[in-house]
Amino acid sequence: MKIIAMIQARCGSSRLPNKVLMNLAGKTDLEWVIERVQRSQVLDEVMVVTSIEKNNLPLIRICTDLGVRVYVGSEEDVLDRYYQAAKLVKADYLVRITADCPLFDWRYLDMAMGGMEEDMDYMAGITESFPDGEDIEIVAYTALKESWEKAKLTSEREHVTMYIKNHPEQFKIQNLECPIAGIGSKRWTLDEEEDYQFISAIYKYFMDLGKDDFVTEDILMFLMEHPELENLNKKYQRNEGLLKSIANDVLVDTER
């Protein structure tokens, strides 16, 4: 079984432009995400999937310097971008991770793969019990291909697993529950300037300690000592981009 992590990244974010290039304790956000995902023990490869826009060239250079494979595909049809990349590398399962998750905890990916049921099509934190920013989605190639063939809404083309979520009767879906209760409302993602201030404070603390392998429990202990930090970004809504896409949904022509 071939398991490939595909990190979704681009430089053209409207809310926080070039966020994947932002500095966190001496490295870019993208470098940290790649490094943290690569700590997983279950992956055959970690790659980045981006779009054809020329402003993504700095991102591609980072990956080249790190020896990380990059797939360049559609800007708007992210589902097609993922499908073509998965087809190219012959993945049996792909792990979708977004580059706005520099606090990603690789142990939960290993936990998920270890607990995945037989013939699973899609596994994710359906109940949102993980902090926003520790998201993991595991998709069987067969389910991705079916989504690519059948998805007609713009939100289903932009958000890779939306077709699966919209049609649970067609797929075998498994929830991934966070082993630490009560932390699903926390915001650890990088989408706004306040998120950057919050995450920068966390990275500075642990890098000053020389600890680059900090995990969820370490972050929680740090925040217990500095609760004021969580006030920086608590006003923002989870999945804001997805909700906007759904509100603007239209049918698309996917004839091939």
Confidence band, pLDDT 50/70/90 cuts, at residue 61: very high
pLDDT at 26: 97
Reading the block at residue 122, the tokens are 């899609």
Q: Inform me whether the pLDDT recorded for 52 exceeds 60.
A: yes
Distance between CA 149 and CA 83 in Å, rounded?
10
Residues 125-155: pLDDT tens digits? 999 999 999 999 999 999 999 999 999 999 9
Contacts of 118 (CB under 8 A, 6+ apart): none
Query: How open is the CA angle 39-92-253, to the nearest 5 degrees?
Result: 115
Chain-centroid distance, C-alpha 180:
20
Q: What is the mean pLDDT of the chain?
A: 93
DSSP conformational letter for 121: S
CB 106 within 8 A of CB 37: yes
Residue 15 has pLDDT above 70, yes or no: yes
Spatial separation of the C-alpha atoms in residues 11 and 203, rounded to whole Å: 21
In the three-class reduction of DSSP (H, G, I as helix; E, B as strand; rest coil), residue 185 is classed as coil
Percentage of residues of the chain with pLDDT beyond 70 = 93
Q: Which tops the pLDDT comparison, 238 or 76?
A: 76
Contact 53, 10 (CB under 8 A): yes
Region 197-222 average pLDDT: 98
Beta bridge partners of 50: 72
Burial of 138 (0-12, 13-18, 19+ CB in 10 A): buried
Smallest CA-to-CA distance from 44 within 94, 95, 4 is with 4
